[in-house]
């Protein structure tokens, strides 16, 4: 995060006694400091203060291993994964369906059928949850974080949280599990860390937790902890969402895709102009409603191109995507490096009379090749690679 926040009760200095009135539950008379750091102690961090120590584990057990199964014997080709009607199942934790992965990330679809009943913590990855449909709140170590349709919910690793949906039958997510921190792109920040004038969004568009509601329960509470492919059931002696105050630069936040201010030019601007977040090994871009290119001879859909060093995935959110036919909300198009792709036949002419597009899509571009899962291939449109043949 590029800016500092504080909530609740914190002492005047770090690492000193944060005294509490009355009797402490452990008779030590203080709130318990917990420092959460990134990249060792070298990057952003936050400090939280708990009613009880965050270390009171009373039991652990391996819940299960979640192995990613690669689809085998696939030719190099483009793909269209149609996930709109993927059956609902499970909750936010076990309802995740892996679509593709590499050493930098795993991309999941999740259409839960049940509310999340246990707390969850990803110990080894940041989670970027895009809300295709739904609304509710995330109860976190740092407080309550409301969310709505179109939000990116960015949750730093080791954050304990629980998704609480307003209506579970409406919830629909794209989840990117990043093995590196998710950051605001460096090119949007000045040397002082403030977002620059002209950036496509601003600090006001990033929304952190709105209130702290520390849970004062000295009773056994379960957390499901994910560490890469391993799920561990951790039993705590007390409820871990017992933070009375915190400050720092590391905390969960939301950014709504419809708040992105897209840049346009006289001719087509490539995807880096729509970049929203950066992680090691991939970037996330937002294709938001925008005016189209306005040179009198402009081709208003993207030119054909080959990703010579990147795999490109688009997740379609809303509207009619100008350069594609046959895609719908919740479709993925997957265009791997090494082969060309471009506008579908007829879309160049079809775009000539348009001044705007109301499309919304989320894109992630990876530095390293993605592996497609068996689950994704069950949603694959086998005719998509042939869809550039003139009708």
3-class SS string, 322-367: CCCCCCCCCEEEEECCCCEECCCCCHHHHCCCCCEECCEEEEEEEC
Q: How confident is the model at residue 294 (pLDDT cuts 50, 70, 90)?
A: confident
Q: What is the pLDDT of residue 300?
A: 62
- pLDDT, average across residues 282-295: 86
Residue ranges matching CATH 2.60.120.10 in the chain: 57-67+88-241+251-256, 258-386
Q: For residue 221, what pLDDT is reported? A: 98
Predicted local confidence at residue 89, as pLDDT: 97
351 vs 388: CA distance, rounded Å: 17
- Summarised one tens digit per residue, pLDDT across range 219-253 is 999 999 999 899 999 999 999 999 999 999 999 99
Whether 50 sits among the annotated catalytic residues: the reply is: no
Residue pLDDT, tens place only, 157-179: 999 999 999 999 999 999 999 99
Least confident of 70-74, 136-140, 298-302, 333-337: 298-302
* Model confidence, pTM: 0.94
Q: 75 or 1, which is more confident?
A: 75
Instruction: Please answer whether residues 134 and 172 qualify as being in contact, where contact means their C-beta atoms are separated by less than 8 angstroms.
Output: yes
Nearest to 325 by CA among 303, 341, 308, 347: 347
Q: Is the pLDDT of residue 272 over 60?
A: yes
Kindly report, residue by residue over 322-365, the tens digit of the pLDDT.
Answer: 556 678 999 999 999 989 888 887 777 767 767 777 899 999 99
* Backbone torsion region of residue 63, taken as left when φ is above 0, otherwise alpha when ψ lies between -120 and 50, otherwise beta: alpha
Rounded percentage of the chain residues whose pLDDT exceeds 90: 76
Per the annotation, where are the binding residues?
305, 311, 341
What's the half-sphere exposure (Cβ side, CA atoms, 13 Å) at 10?
Answer: 19
pLDDT reported for residue 85: 93
> Which residues line the annotated binding site for homogentisate?
341
- 312-to-79, 94, 259, 273, 369 alpha-carbon distances in Å: 11, 27, 23, 15, 9
Calculate the CA 145 to chain-centre distance: 14
Strands 221-227 and 119-122: parallel
Q: What is the pLDDT of residue 190?
A: 93
**Predicted confidence (pLDDT) per residue in 86-112, tens digit:** 999 999 999 999 999 999 999 999 999
Mean pLDDT of 252-268: 90
Q: What is the mean pLDDT of residues 130-135?
A: 98
The pLDDT of residue 196 is 94
Can you say which residues are annotated as belonging to the binding site for Fe cation? 305, 311, 341
CATH of 57-67+88-241+251-256, one of 2.40.110.10, 2.60.40.3880, 2.30.40.10, 2.60.120.10: 2.60.120.10
Q: What is the mean pLDDT of residues 260-268?
A: 84
Q: Work out the mean pLDDT of the chain and round it to a whole number.
A: 92
**Which pLDDT score is estimated for 307?**
80
Instruction: Give the residue-averaged pLDDT of 262-291.
Output: 88
Provide CB contacts within 8 A for 46, sequence distance 6+: 35, 36, 142, 246, 247, 248, 249, 250, 251
Q: Which of 80, 268, 295, 354 is catalytic?
A: 268
CB hemisphere CA count around 242 (13 angstroms) = 22
Q: Is the pLDDT of residue 304 over 70?
A: yes
What local confidence, expressed as pLDDT, does residue 322 receive? Answer: 57
Residues 6+ apart with CB under 8 A from 382: none
Are 36 and 44 within 8 A, CB to CB?
no
Select from 1.10.10.60, 2.60.120.10, 3.10.150.10, 2.40.110.10 the CATH code of 258-386: 2.60.120.10
């Amino acid at each position: 995060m590029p800016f500092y926040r504080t909530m609740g009760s914190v002492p005047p200095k770090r690492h000193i006694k944060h005294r509490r009135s009355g009797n402490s539950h452990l008779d030590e008379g203080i709130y318990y400091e917990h420092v959460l750091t990134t990249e060792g102690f070298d990057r952003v961090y936050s400090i939280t203060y708990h009613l009880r120590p965050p270390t009171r584990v009373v039991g652990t057990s391996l819940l299960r291993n979640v192995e990613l199964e690669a689809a085998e014997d696939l030719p190099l080709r483009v793909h269209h994964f149609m996930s709109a009607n993927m059956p609902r199942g499970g909750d936010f934790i076990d309802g995740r369906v892996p679509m593709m992965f590499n050493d930098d990330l795993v991309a999941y679809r999740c259409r839960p059928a049940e509310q999340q009943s246990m707390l969850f913590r990803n110990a080894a990855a940041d989670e970027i949850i895009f809300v295709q449909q739904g609304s509710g709140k995330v109860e976190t170590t740092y407080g309550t974080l409301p969310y709505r349709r179109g939000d990116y919910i960015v949750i730093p690793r080791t954050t304990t949280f629980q998704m609480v949906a307003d209506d579970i039958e409406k919830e629909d997510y794209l989840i990117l599990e990043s093995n590196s921190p998710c950051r605001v792109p460096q090119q949007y920040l000045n040397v002082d860390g403030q977002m620059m004038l002209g950036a496509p969004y601003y600090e006001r568009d990033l929304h952190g937790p709105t209130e702290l509601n520390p849970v004062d329960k000295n009773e056994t509470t379960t957390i499901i902890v994910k560490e890469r492919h391993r799920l561990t059931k951790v039993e705590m002696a007390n409820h871990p969402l017992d933070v009375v105050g915190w400050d720092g630069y590391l905390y969960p936040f939301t950014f709504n895709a419809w708040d992105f201010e897209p840049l346009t030019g006289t001719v087509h601007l490539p995807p880096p102009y729509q970049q929203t977040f950066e992680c090691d090994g991939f970037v996330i871009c937002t294709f938001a409603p925008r005016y189209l290119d306005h040179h009198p001879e402009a081709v208003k859909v993207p030119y054909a191109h080959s990703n010579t060093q990147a795999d490109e995935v688009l997740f379609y959110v809303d509207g009619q995507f100008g350069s594609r036919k046959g895609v719908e909300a919740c479709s993925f198009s997957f265009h791997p490096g090494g082969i060309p792709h471009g506008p579908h036949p007829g879309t160049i002419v079809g775009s000539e009379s348009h001044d705007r597009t109301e499309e919304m899509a989320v894109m992630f571009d990876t530095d390293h090749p993605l592996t497609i899962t068996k689950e994704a291939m069950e949603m694959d449109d086998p005719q998509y690679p042939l869809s550039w043949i003139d009708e």
